[in-house]
Amino acid sequence: MIGVIADTHAALWYTQNSPLLSNVAADAMDAVVLHGDSIGVSVISLVEIVYLVEKNRLSPQAFATLKSALLSESTGLVVAPIDIAVVDSLGSIARNDVPDMPDRIIAATARALGVPLVTRDYRITTSGVEVIW
């Protein structure tokens, strides 16, 4: 069961043990895994990362590290699909509040699953989705 959704940056920083991930966020993600649940990473985050690698805004190694973590059962990370429940939830994330489509999809994924979203994106906090940072 997915216990939390990590946005693109949070997922990358978590797999890299980056100090850019807040202690509160890292502790919450660790707690989900320790509880036996999973950290969901929206498939749109993977698409976004490939795009950023292609634009040389992110290193290929960053994607490789996240992909490896998603393929390993021991990390607790899983891919969260974009399914009809996410599509139905998308309309509840106001475009004026969260104008970036990948961010709206990630927020809608958390809402559809009824779990918190790990993000530092201040715009998402106005969407009504529970945010951990």
CATH superfamily for 2-132 is: 5'-nuclease (3.40.50.1010)
Coil, helix or strand at residue 53: helix
Buried b or exposed e, range 25-36, using 16+ CB within 10 angstroms? bbebbeebbeee
What pLDDT does residue 127 have?
85
Query: Which tens digit of pLDDT belongs to each residue from 11-69?
Result: 999 999 999 999 999 999 999 999 999 999 999 999 999 999 999 999 999 999 999 99
Query: Which tens digit of pLDDT belongs to each residue from 73-129?
Result: 899 999 999 999 999 999 999 999 999 999 999 999 999 999 999 999 989 988 899
Query: Which tens digit of pLDDT belongs to each residue from 2-20?
Result: 999 999 999 999 999 999 9
Domain boundaries, the chain: 2-132
What pLDDT does residue 126 have?
83
Question: For the whole prediction, is pTM greater than 0.85?
Answer: yes
